């Protein structure tokens, strides 16, 4: 089982398209936005360069998890590999657990490099313990996205999965307030924004950057999303092996 | 645990009892009862659509039967699979892309309690020199050999192979069967499906013939081959009696409708020669070399 997990992590790290998309994109976006909005006033007690750092780290992390689960599972379902794997002692539940853990591990490049860019290029300074805490909290906060990725991988056709994943990625990121601050969204969208898991992940990071304890609402929001998406994933995953 | 199953004791490797499976209105498997004993090599022979792949999916637990019971080594298929006792080569079994051959085999070996060594499996599947190659950069034949390695890596007691040679050329096919012959020699139980009578005849201890989702014959290869190798002779002869026709040399079965006669025969020349002597007014003579499909129709009717 650890062999499967480590092989899946290695596959992710070697995948150039994956790294280009979910690592280079948030880092590049951070460098751009943090320079453009440098003169904006602080919000939530955070300077723009910190606020945007957290938003882009969350953006990269959720993208890593979505990309590491959905498209791969869909392709392997179509190629018959998942069927072959189901005929080894690694059952479906363990297989999916490995994929989720691998996806969480694969959030590391995006989060770490975004934080490094912030520290090195924009001179962001945080108490030392907050850096690793940020990596762990935002990474774990992406668990609901892993369940969403499993659902996409189990239900979408092999070709469709990449498109569906990309659409979900962008919609959840934009409406979740990662690209534009929630406060400039129109009223109804603002309520939606606060209810999305992408916003929950960012809120965990913003609070941490402000030196405050995690926001209970954000934790509950993500827990609720996790329960709901994991339930759907459990149902959808029956198709992984049985569907022809 | 995964012992080589030369041991004749213990429950049979495969038992299907009254197994049926429909997909919507299509009855893919219509009540199959069969047993594969430990150490046997059994062929599932039938034309496309006979229910071979569905039967294999059922016995591996990939599909649940609507009716009937499936057992591998005396227990549910899932348990035998979880215990690593089954090695499988599926027609549509994919390989993991983006990894090297040796990485894939090492990962799989780690899933089993008593796997074969990577070196042993590489040698068995004739993958020497390809260990460092990425799985998505293998030729068709090399990928097929890697599938053999994937099926063998867990040192399985039962090997299940669905239409292994469908996409192989003659040389690859010969090479594949040499590998399988060696595996049977190691005491593994082998169940393979094919639509080539020659393959089933040459490599199986026993042939189970499927047609229309049912077992049409379950016999030693020689018996099945004789019966499937039969030809169909048709002619029109007035006053030919069924009993007389049945006495003609080589005749296996007789059908008479008015003056129209249909014979199935294992020796078409002898049957025809005798028929021409017996009925000089015989017309519309026709001899059809029963292709496998025709032979199945003959067997099922």
pLDDT in tens, A165-216: 999 999 999 999 999 888 888 888 888 999 999 999 999 999 999 888 888 9
Cβ distance of A3 and B110 shorter than 8 Å: yes
**Beta strands per DSSP E along chain B:** 14-23, 26-36, 41-45, 67-72, 86-89, 158-162, 189-194, 206-211, 214-219, 231-236, 251-257, 260-265, 283-289
- Alpha-carbon distance B171 to B126, whole Å? 14
Contact A151, A240 (CB under 8 A): no
Residues of A with CB under 8 A from a CB of B: 1-4, 7, 10-11, 14-15, 75-76, 78-84, 86-91, 241-242
Asked if the model's pLDDT at residue B6 lies above 50, the reply is no
Contact A70, A152 (CB under 8 A): yes
d(CA B150, nearest CA chain A) in Å:
9
Q: How many CB pairs under 8 A join A and B?
A: 78
d(CA A68, nearest CA chain B) in Å:
14
| Averaged pLDDT for residues B279-298 | 73
User: What DSSP character marks residue B187?
Assistant: T
Q: Which residues of A172-183 are buried (b: 16+ CB within 10 A; e: fewer)?
A: bbbbbbbbebbe
Asked if the model's pLDDT at residue B300 lies above 60, the reply is no
Cβ distance of B99 and A11 shorter than 8 Å: yes
Which two three-digit tokens encode residue A176? Answer: 């979740």
Which two three-digit tokens encode residue A117? Answer: 């860019």
Cβ distance of B62 and A86 shorter than 8 Å: yes
Of B62, B96, B104, the CB nearest to A83: B62
Partners of A90 on chain B (C-beta within 8 Å) are 111
Which two three-digit tokens encode residue A165? Answer: 């994943």
Cβ distance of B62 and A87 shorter than 8 Å: yes
Contact B213, B30 (CB under 8 A): yes
Cβ distance of B98 and A4 shorter than 8 Å: no
pLDDT score, position B290: 59
Q: What is the ipTM of this complex?
A: 0.89
Contact B184, B209 (CB under 8 A): no
Contact B55, B29 (CB under 8 A): yes
pLDDT tens per residue across span B44-71: 998 888 889 999 999 999 999 999 999 9
Name every residue whose Cβ is closer than 8 Å to that of residue A207 and which is 6 or more positions away in sequence.
A213, A214, A215, A218
pLDDT score, position B1: 40
pLDDT score, position B135: 93
DSSP string, B98-148: TSBHHHHHHHHHTTSSSPPPHHHHHHHTT-TT-TTSBGGGS-HHHHHHHHH
Name every residue whose Cβ is closer than 8 Å to that of residue B170 and which is 6 or more positions away in sequence.
none
Provide the sign of the torsion angle of the four alpha carbons A211, A213, A218, A222, taken in this order.
Answer: positive
**Residue, of B236 and B49, whose pLDDT is higher:** B236
- Alpha-carbon distance B210 to B218, whole Å? 9
* Among chain B residues, CA nearest to A81: B94
pLDDT score, position B292: 58
Cβ distance of A83 and B94 shorter than 8 Å: yes
pLDDT tens per residue across span A18-61: 878 888 999 999 999 988 887 887 777 788 899 999 999 999 99
User: Which residues between 113 and 152 in chain B have a beta carbon less than 8 angstroms from any beta carbon of chain A?
Assistant: 113, 150
């Amino acid at each position: 089982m650890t062999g499967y997990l480590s092989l899946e992590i290695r596959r992710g790290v070697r995948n150039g398209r994956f790294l280009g998309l979910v690592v280079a994109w948030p880092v590049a976006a951070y460098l751009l936005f943090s320079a453009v909005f440098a003169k904006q006033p602080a919000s939530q007690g955070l300077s723009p360069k910190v606020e945007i750092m957290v938003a882009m780290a969350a953006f990269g992390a959720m993208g890593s998890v979505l990309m590491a689960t959905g498209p791969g599972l869909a392709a392997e379902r179509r190629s018959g590999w998942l069927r072959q794997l189901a005929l080894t002692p690694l059952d479906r539940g363990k297989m999916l657990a490995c994929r989720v853990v691998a996806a969480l591990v694969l959030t590391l490049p995006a989060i770490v490099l975004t934080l490094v860019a912030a520290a090195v290029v924009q001179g962001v300074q945080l108490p030392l313990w907050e850096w690793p805490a940020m990596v762990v909290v935002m990474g774990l906060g992406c668990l609901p996205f892993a369940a969403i990725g499993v659902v996409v991988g189990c239900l979408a056709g092999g070709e469709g999965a990449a498109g569906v994943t990309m659409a979900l990625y962008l919609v959840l990121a934009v409406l979740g307030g990662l690209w534009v601050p929630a406060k400039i969204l129109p009223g109804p969208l603002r309520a939606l924004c606060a209810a999305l898991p992408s916003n929950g992940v960012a809120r965990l990071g913003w609070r941490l950057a402000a030196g405050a304890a995690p926001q209970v609402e954000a934790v509950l929001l993500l827990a609720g999303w996790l329960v709901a998406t994991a339930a759907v994933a459990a149902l959808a995953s029956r198709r992984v092996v049985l569907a022809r | 645990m995964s012992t080589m199953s030369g041991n004749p004791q213990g429950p049979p490797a495969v038992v299907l009892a009254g197994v049926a499976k429909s997909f919507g209105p299509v009855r893919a498997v219509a009540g199959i009862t069969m047993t594969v004993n430990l150490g046997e090599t059994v062929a599932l022979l039938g034309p496309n659509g006979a229910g071979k792949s569905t039967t294999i999916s059922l016995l591996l637990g990939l599909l649940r039967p609507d009716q009937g019971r499936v057992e591998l080594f005396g227990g549910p298929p899932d348990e035998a699979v979880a215990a690593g006792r089954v090695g499988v080569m599926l027609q549509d079994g994919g390989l993991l892309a983006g990894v090297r051959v040796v990485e894939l085999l090492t990962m799989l070996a780690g899933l089993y309690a008593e796997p074969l060594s990577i070196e042993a499996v590489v040698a068995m599947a004739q993958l020497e020199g390809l260990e460092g190659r990425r799985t998505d950069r293998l030729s068709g034949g090399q990928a097929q050999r890697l599938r053999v390695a994937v099926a063998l890596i867990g040192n399985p007691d039962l090997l299940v192979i669905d239409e292994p040679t469908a996409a192989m050329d003659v040389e690859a096919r010969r090479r594949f069967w040499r590998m399988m012959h060696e595996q049977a020699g190691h005491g593994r139980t082998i169940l393979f499906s094919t639509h080539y009578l020659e393959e089933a005849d040459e490599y199986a201890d026993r042939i189970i013939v499927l047609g229309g989702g049912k077992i049409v014959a379950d016999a030693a290869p020689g018996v099945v081959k004789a019966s499937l190798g039969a030809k169909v002779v048709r002619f029109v002869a007035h006053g030919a009696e069924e009993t007389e026709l049945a006495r003609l040399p080589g005749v296996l079965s007789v059908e008479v409708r008015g003056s129209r006669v249909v014979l199935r025969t294992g020796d078409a020349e002898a049957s025809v020669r005798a028929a021409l002597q017996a009925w000089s007014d015989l017309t519309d003579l026709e001899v059809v070399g029963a292709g496998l499909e025709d032979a199945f129709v003959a067997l099922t009717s």
